[in-house]
Amino acid sequence: MHDDTTSDGRTRRDYLKYGSALLTGGLVAGCTGDADSGSGATASTSATGSASTSTPGGTTQADATTQTETAATSGDSYTVEMAPVGTVEFEAVPETWESYFPGYADMGVALGQADGLSAVGVTSRYHTDYYEELDGVSVDESSVTQLYDEGIDKELYYELDNDVHLTDPRWLTENSFFGLEEADVEELRSNVAPFVGNTIFRRTDAWHTYPYYTMYEAFEKVAQVFQQEERYAAFESLHEAFLGRIGESLPPADERPAGLLCFAASDEPEKFSPYRLADEGTNKKQFRDLGVSDALAGTGVKGLSTDDRGQIDYETMLEVDPEALFVRGHESKSREEFRETVVAFMRGHSVASELTAVKNDAVYRGGPIYQGPIQNLFVTERFAKLLYPDAYTDEELFDRGRVSDIVGGTA
């Protein structure tokens, strides 16, 4: 167990607690100031929180101009406010932590907190190979526990005994395959550590009726949790400069591809679960930043979500005939390994071989499902050079040394 007893007899655990903003009617009823008209359209802004508008169609847009700020309450204590949990009070900076979402794990690493990471949901979906290009940045994968194993054992949280859970509690309770109920999460919050997090990698869950955050809005919240606002500001500045560089050379809209993003883990895929690129989840950020349009727009084909696991075949794909095809489930392969397996199979398939993307050698690995700020830099650079090789000829589109310095705290 993690102990660290202070001179007054209390442990670090005693210094990590929820503030009073949680609504008594339920663990994650929402942030202070959330409003619901009951009509299916809501607008929510707290005194210090991020504003978001939700439409009857389910699309929400976080207001990037309104940010939650860390507010010191007394002495060294401080608060962080984030939907859906509301205001969380910390009287000590967390040292050990986990997140079901590997994208949040990447945020913690970017803030110099790699040594405290104890667990992620599925370790195979946490792609740490990007860190190999950054001096002094690494994660000891042998020390990272996988939370999911045909469900989640509540006792595992007790064994890990973390100081904070960077996980959206609604993600755990609304997905029945985890086997956790709201009472379980409330118990863990009370007996182990608070939850702070928001499901941002996609925006297709009907239960996600509270504000969403962009990648960098969520990243800022995590920075507040770890009191690493300077590292966050440095990363945000680097990211803005990177997007500016991308934008300067981005081809005109009519020269950018209409792409189809899908999931098919087989080396010889016949069925595909489609995503919608129009969804504003963080797992598609690189495609939005590179101006890739959604080939499924106007087709009536739904996207992969908790509620819809429908699949399409090559015949349906040929009707859409995307200019670029992005296939997820192969991130552990190199580009060449992917070409020798999945792409080679498509070229020899009677229907797949007729796809424009196959004919034009525009079939790519689809990128990680979960990603944070470090991973996103590498993934965006990768797709920029694959999709627009004539526009982005530099070997590197962002400064690896600068990223390493920020993570190491020397920037």
Q: What is the CATH number of the domain that holds 287?
A: 3.40.50.1980
Residues 223 and 263 both lie in one domain: no
As a whole number, the mean pLDDT across the chain is 85
230: nearest Cα among 238, 377, 27:
238
Q: Report if residue 116 sits inside a domain.
A: yes
Residues 68 and 167 both lie in one domain: yes
Average pLDDT over residues 149-169: 97
Query: How many domains is the chain partitioned into structurally?
Result: 2
> Residue 5: pLDDT above 60?
no
Asked if 54 and 205 touch (Cβ cutoff 8 Å), the reply is no
378: nearest Cα among 286, 266, 271, 281:
286
Q: Which residues of 104-136 are buried (b: 16+ CB within 10 A; e: fewer)?
A: bbbbbbbbbbbebbbbbbebebbbbebbeebee
More confident residue, 257 or 278: 257
275: nearest Cα among 207, 211, 325:
325
Q: Report if residue 246 sits inside a domain.
A: no
pLDDT digits (tens, 9 = 90+) for 322-365: 999 999 999 999 999 999 999 999 999 999 999 999 999 999 99
> Residue 252: pLDDT above 70?
yes
More confident residue, 99 or 16: 99
Q: Report if residue 6 sits inside a domain.
A: no
> Residue 46: pLDDT above 60?
no
**Measured distance CA(80)–CA(33) in Å, rounded:** 15
More confident residue, 397 or 27: 397
Asked if 131 and 138 touch (Cβ cutoff 8 Å), the reply is yes
Residues 204 and 296 both lie in one domain: no
| pLDDT tier for residue 244 given thresholds of 50, 70 and 90 | very high
Residues 324 and 221 both lie in one domain: no
**Measured distance CA(235)–CA(407) in Å, rounded:** 9
> Residue 184: pLDDT above 60?
yes
Whether cis (ω within 30° of 0) applies to the bond prior to 84 is yes
Average pLDDT over residues 98-115: 98
| pLDDT tier for residue 303 given thresholds of 50, 70 and 90 | low
Q: Report if residue 239 sits inside a domain.
A: no
Which residues neighbour 1 within 8 Å (Cβ) at sequence distance 6 or greater? 161
**Measured distance CA(397)–CA(247) in Å, rounded:** 12
Residues 34 and 182 both lie in one domain: yes
Structure tokens at 1: 């167990």
Q: Provide the domain limits for residue 109.
A: 12-227
* Model confidence pTM above 0.75: yes
**Measured distance CA(379)–CA(383) in Å, rounded:** 6
Q: Give 81's strand partners.
A: 87
Residues 119 and 163 both lie in one domain: yes
Residues 189 and 318 both lie in one domain: no
More confident residue, 41 or 321: 321
Model pLDDT, residue 117: 98
Q: Report if residue 312 sits inside a domain.
A: yes
- How many Cα neighbours within 13 Å face the side chain of 233? 5
The single-letter code of the amino acid at 277 is L
**Measured distance CA(219)–CA(214) in Å, rounded:** 8
**Measured distance CA(266)–CA(273) in Å, rounded:** 12
Average pLDDT over residues 136-152: 96
- Give the residue carrying structure tokens 């009070």: 89
Average pLDDT over residues 11-38: 37
Q: Report if residue 247 sits inside a domain.
A: no
Provide the percentage of residues in the chain whose pLDDT is more than 90: 76
| pLDDT tier for residue 146 given thresholds of 50, 70 and 90 | very high
The total number of residues shown for the chain amounts to: 411
More confident residue, 253 or 61: 253
Model pLDDT, residue 278: 85
216: nearest Cα among 194, 196, 195, 240:
240
| pLDDT tier for residue 411 given thresholds of 50, 70 and 90 | confident
Which of 212, 227, 242 represents a domain boundary (last residue)?
227
Residues 159 and 103 both lie in one domain: yes
Average pLDDT over residues 197-216: 96
166: nearest Cα among 127, 197, 209:
197
> Residue 196: pLDDT above 60?
yes
Model pLDDT, residue 309: 55
Q: Report if residue 235 sits inside a domain.
A: no
Model pLDDT, residue 13: 52
Three-state DSSP at 386 gives helix
Asked if 34 and 47 touch (Cβ cutoff 8 Å), the reply is no
Strands 16-18 and 42-44 turn out to be unpaired
Residues 204 and 275 both lie in one domain: no
pLDDT digits (tens, 9 = 90+) for 305-334: 544 457 899 999 999 999 999 999 999 999
Which residues neighbour 20 within 8 Å (Cβ) at sequence distance 6 or greater? 87
Asked if 211 and 51 touch (Cβ cutoff 8 Å), the reply is yes
